[in-house]
Amino acid sequence: MSDTVVVGLDVGGTSTRAVAVTLAGERLGTGRGGGGNPTSHGAERAAAELLTALRGALHGVDPTRVRAGIIGLAGAGRLLADPHGRAAFDRAWSQAGLRCPYAVHGDALVGYASGTAAPDGTVLIAGTGAIAAQVRDLRLDRTADGHGWLLGDTGSGFWLGREAVRRLLAALDAGADPGPLGRRVLTELLGSAEVAARPRDTADALVQAVTRRPPVELARLAPLVVAGAVDGEPVATGLIGEAAASLVESAARIRPAGATSPVVLGGGLLTGDTPLAAAVRAETARRWPDAAVRSAGDGAAGAAWLAARDLPEVTDPVALHALLVPEAA
Amino acid sequence: MSDTVVVGLDVGGTSTRAVAVTLAGERLGTGRGGGGNPTSHGAERAAAELLTALRGALHGVDPTRVRAGIIGLAGAGRLLADPHGRAAFDRAWSQAGLRCPYAVHGDALVGYASGTAAPDGTVLIAGTGAIAAQVRDLRLDRTADGHGWLLGDTGSGFWLGREAVRRLLAALDAGADPGPLGRRVLTELLGSAEVAARPRDTADALVQAVTRRPPVELARLAPLVVAGAVDGEPVATGLIGEAAASLVESAARIRPAGATSPVVLGGGLLTGDTPLAAAVRAETARRWPDAAVRSAGDGAAGAAWLAARDLPEVTDPVALHALLVPEAA
């Protein structure tokens, strides 16, 4: 049984990560490629990054030992619906020497599996965007938000960045002091925290600086809000509180009141010891007091576990989870 | 004195309107051109529409009788800062046979003057976008919002349209009934009020339908919200209330508490007998109980009055306002 290898991949917008692991939990290799989201990068390029990551993970591993693989990626449904994209992924898979089948799942499911082995639960992800999903029998069931920056992604990094600029514009309109967070935003966007003699000129310059770039780049201001909240800055603290409430509200659209299944928090804004993660944990505990709240871990490891658990020799998938995704234990 | 003619122009994004009027209040002519905003259409095209509207207003009028003119347009400051744009407007002015000077002011000032002759007050405009401005001695002083759809325009037609879609998406996420407003939005965007067996498919289709067009086109959903509020639909009524609160909040950033000067409401969403206008009037009366609230009228007439009042023969500008802008009396 320890001869059997499974492969897990987590394909994200900025990097692609792969792991090859035995059913005994021995990590044989890890690999990394560039951003491989087929929606934003095109299926060919995504498949090329996939191959790079796979080759890294399989270096020195006999690929015929690999019995199963799972690829987690955002927009999995769109890839599966596109014969051209699916063919590109098939080619990369066989170019890596793999002969076993593989399956593609949403990145939300892989994130969930990196945090818990429970078959049912909820995953809440906040990075540049934001989405909540209900997991049933380790399949994505209903989702909430994830509607993109124009119409959704409430509480996401984009949302935090946009709201930080909006609060600053309101302060400039009112002729008020921009405050510590406002000064950080001014410095980031205009290179100086100074406000013009006519504050409207500064406001107009801010609007121009933002509209020169793709809107989604407002997400790069989110770390300023997080840092401000760590320092106790009141505007930043308020925004973090609003974001947490919105994120949990999205989860509540799909997660029943009184649910006791685990909640897994994922994405750059909710993993690690951030004030947003703390606020979401507190709000989740208030709404669902009997639920465990977990952090998503290594998505590639979660994918590897999802691949392994359907193999006939696996009789205790929960014990296997502890071996393959040790940080979630 | 009744020989003296003044010209007023209101240059908007969808039409340009001109009026030629004597100081006795006799309307000698009106003219209309296409959208003439130099920011969105380019100064040459804006100047061409200006000339069309001017020629209409001056048909059969000896142009040497015209002693003064005012052009109101959005983005007046940008035009004045651009020598090329200013030259195009100068050419149109003299091609219309006019030898008198003219001045360019923001459309907010012209809207204000179409509603009141008071030298100091506030103008609040909501159409596709939203802006509030403080007027001091019949000049625009400070402004609030008007920051565009990505970062501002809170309570505007864009905002109402976007929020209507967001509420609908939230209902679809939750598996709830879309409600009457939601069904109107579905029909407008997808051609049918039906929700797919998997509501996420309908949500995804909505997001795609919106993102295929420029974001600002969400404003075309605003009339659905207004109509819904007229019918007492709860979601629409709630959105109208939120929009009114946001618009008055923008005005409060620049208008002192306790101010008694008039408030002029302008733009497609605030002129006429709309539920948003009623809600803004109520909220304004609550905040500034001693202020008169007026509706903006014919911007071209307001511009003509602004042009006339500086002529030496005008001794009673308030009486002249009643002659030139009769509907504001």
The one-letter amino acid code at B137 reads: D
Q: Do B150 and A203 touch (CB under 8 A)?
A: no
Mean pLDDT over residues B152-163, rounded? 96
Calculate what percentage of chain B has a pLDDT beyond 70.
Answer: 98
The residue behind tokens 């639920």 is A291
Question: Is residue A215 within 8 angstroms of chain B, CB to CB?
Answer: yes
Question: Is residue B152 within 8 angstroms of chain A, CB to CB?
Answer: yes
Domain extents for chain B? 5-115+297-328, 120-296
Q: Do A174 and B253 touch (CB under 8 A)?
A: yes
Quick one: closest CA in A to B132, which residue? A173
Architecture of domain A119-296: 2-Layer Sandwich (3.30)
> Is the pLDDT reported for residue B306 higher than 80?
yes
What does the mean pLDDT of chain B come to? 93
Contacts of A221 in chain B (CB under 8 A): none
> Is the pLDDT reported for residue B1 higher than 50?
no
pLDDT digits (tens, 9 = 90+) for B226-245: 999 999 999 999 999 999 99
pLDDT digits (tens, 9 = 90+) for A209-233: 999 999 999 999 999 999 999 999 9
Q: What is the model's pLDDT at position B2? A: 59
Q: What is the model's pLDDT at position A1? A: 47
**β-strand pairing of A15-22 with A5-11:** antiparallel
Low-confidence residues of chain A: pLDDT under 50: 1
Band the pLDDT of B13: cuts 50, 70, 90: confident
Q: What is the model's pLDDT at position A79? A: 76
Helix, strand, coil shares, percent, chain B, to 5:
50, 20, 35
Mean pLDDT over residues B275-280, rounded? 96
Contacts of B206 in chain A (CB under 8 A): 151
Determine the CATH number of domain B120-296.
3.30.420.40
Rounded to whole angstroms, the Cα distance separating B5 from B9 reads 14
Rounded to whole angstroms, the Cα distance separating A292 from B221 reads 42
> Is the pLDDT reported for residue B40 higher than 80?
no
Q: Give the gap in angstroms from C-alpha B199 to the nearest C-alpha of chain A.
A: 9
From the number of C-beta atoms within 10 Å of its C-beta (0-12, 13-18, 19+), residue A220 rates as middle
pLDDT digits (tens, 9 = 90+) for A148-163: 999 999 999 999 999 9
Contacts of B203 in chain A (CB under 8 A): 147
Q: Which residues contact B71 (CB under 8 A, 6 or more apart)?
A: B9, B11, B50, B89, B102, B103, B104, B105, B303
Q: Give the gap in angstroms from C-alpha B174 to the nearest C-alpha of chain A.
A: 5
* Ramachandran sector of residue A258 (left: φ over 0; alpha: ψ -120 to 50; beta: rest): left
Q: What is the model's pLDDT at position A80? A: 76
Q: What is the model's pLDDT at position A15? A: 86
pLDDT digits (tens, 9 = 90+) for B62-87: 999 999 999 998 777 777 778 888 99
Within a 10 A sphere around the Cβ of B39, how many other Cβ atoms?
16
Mean pLDDT over residues B211-233, rounded? 95
Q: Which fold has domain A5-115+297-328?
A: Nucleotidyltransferase; domain 5 (3.30.420)
Q: Do B152 and A169 touch (CB under 8 A)?
A: yes
A69 forms bridges with which residues in the sheet? A7, A102
The beta-carbon neighbor of A147 closest among B145, B150, B207 is: B207
Q: What is the model's pLDDT at position B42? A: 79
The two domains B5-115+297-328 and B120-296 share their CATH topology (first three levels equal): yes
Give residue B155's Cα distance to chain centre: 13
Q: Do A298 and A325 meet the contact criterion of CB atoms below 8 Å apart?
A: yes
Band the pLDDT of B44: cuts 50, 70, 90: confident
What is the predicted ipTM? Answer: 0.89
CB pairs under 8 A between A and B: 72
SS3 per residue for chain A: CCCCEEEEEEECCCEEEEEEEECCCCEEEEEEEECCCHHHHCHHHHHHHHHHHHHHHHCCCCHHHEEEEEEEECCHHHHHHCHHHHHHHHHHHHHCCCCCCEEEEEHHHHHHHCCCCCCCEEEEEECCCEEEEEEECCEEEEEEECCCCCCCCCCCHHHHHHHHHHHHHHHHHCCCCCHHHHHHHHHHHHCCCCCCCCHHHHHHHHHHHHHCCCHHHHHHHHHHHHHHHHCCCHHHHHHHHHHHHHHHHHHHCCCCCCCCCCEEEECCCCCCCCHHHHHHHHHHHHHCCCCCEEECCCHHHHHHHHHHCCCCCCCCHHHHHHHHCHHHC
- Lowest mean pLDDT of A5-14, A314-323, B89-98, B121-130, name the range: A5-14
B293's tokens:
């609230």
